[in-house]
Structure 1
Amino acid sequence: MVHLVLYQPEIPQNVGNIARTAAALGWPLHLIRPLGFLLSSSKLRRAGLDYWPYVDLRVHEDWAAFLASLPPSARVWAFSARAETSLYQARFQEGDYLLFGPETRGLPEVVLAQFPSLQIAMPGPVRSLNLAVAVGVAAYEAYRQLRIREGAPPERPGS
């Protein structure tokens, strides 16, 4: 299992879509307050469809509370468009945390300074990917790596 972590997310539809990804993988989703929406938001609920019962949602009151919740051996990977190391250079492990910043500003420098940072290649002219897309790309790369290390057979539709 890998943990998906959203630092002060702002857009409920993105979080709803990320919750669906977390449910699909069976991984916890951590939200670090303040949030840019209410957890009761209809936009959040609609984007997550009927998958909410399958989401292991963990809400932290602030950054300090999230840090206090981490086990001593936790490995946190911070994602940033400004990072120099590619997502594909990381070697993910069970129990890792994938940390993403808010949609309009990304992770603050004080947070980025605490953990190794990774970027997702964007050879085109855009500044950044949509948060839900970035989480999906990173999550499924981590999933792919873990399955290979476990010696799992390739995925088949419906398996």
Structure 2
Amino acid sequence: MRLALYQPDIPQNVGAAIRAAACFGAGMDVIEPCGFPLDSREVRRVAMDYGTEAAAPRAHSGWTAFLESVGTGRLVLLTTKADETIWDFDFRPDDIILMGRESAGAPDEVHDRADARLKIPLAPGARSLNVTVAAAVALAEARRQVGWSDAG
């Protein structure tokens, strides 16, 4: 299982995503360009040692380069525009949970390439979760479904 961030805008969110991926035993991908260097102080501060040990992110120079690395894993896009929820989806161990940009979400070409588009149900009137919070919720649900636990 992997977590992928599409052209992230906020370095602290990348650092938090690295920690979430590490804590849920997932790999991490960052699809560039980013609005900051991946080795920035802000990323390192939030990621702590997780960014160099358990979940060092793989950087991809763009969407095409990322797609070349996907292999057989399904691209599961989290989006507020989806009809299906993460609770109703059957995750697989090789899924790639893909998050759009904080400022703009994912463009049409990303939506078109996704094997599944999912949302996290929210309270009435709530618009969206922080991208890293949403990623962690989805990773937790995916791990719960595939039977992974902290015991291995």
Tell me if the contact between 1:5 and 1:32 (Cα under 8 Å) persists in the aligned partners: yes
Partner letter of residue 47 of structure 1?
Answer: V
Amino acid at match of 1:5: A
Report Cα offsets for 1:88-144 as digits up to 9, x if no partner: 111011111101001011111221122220001122323211011000000000010
Ranges of 4+ aligned residues in structure 1 off by more than 3 Å: none
Q: What aligned pairs does 1:58-137 form with structure 2 within 5 A after superposition?
A: 58-71=58-71, 73-115=72-114, 116-137=116-137
Superposition RMSD in Å:
1.7
Partner of 2:27: 28
Structure 2 residue runs without a partner (length 5+): none
CA distance in 2, matches of 1:119, 1:41: 30
* Distance in 2 (alpha carbons) for counterparts of 1:70 and 1:54: 20
Q: Which has the larger radius of gyration?
A: 1
Does structure 2 conserve the Cα–Cα contact (< 8 Å) formed by 1:27 and 1:56?
Answer: no
TM-score normalised by L of structure 2: 0.92
CA distance in 1, matches of 2:4, 2:44: 18
- State how many pairs are aligned: 150
Deviation at 1:146, TM superposition (A): 0.9
Structure 1 segments unaligned to the other structure (5+ residues):
none
Match of 1:6 in 2: 5
Q: Distance in 1 between matches of 2:11 and 2:56?
A: 17
TM-score, structure 1 length as denominator? 0.88
- CA deviations over 1:52-103 (Å, ceiling 9, x no partner): 22213211000000111121x3211111001111111110111111010010
Which whole-Å CA distance do the structure 2 matches of 1:56 and 1:50 have between them? 9
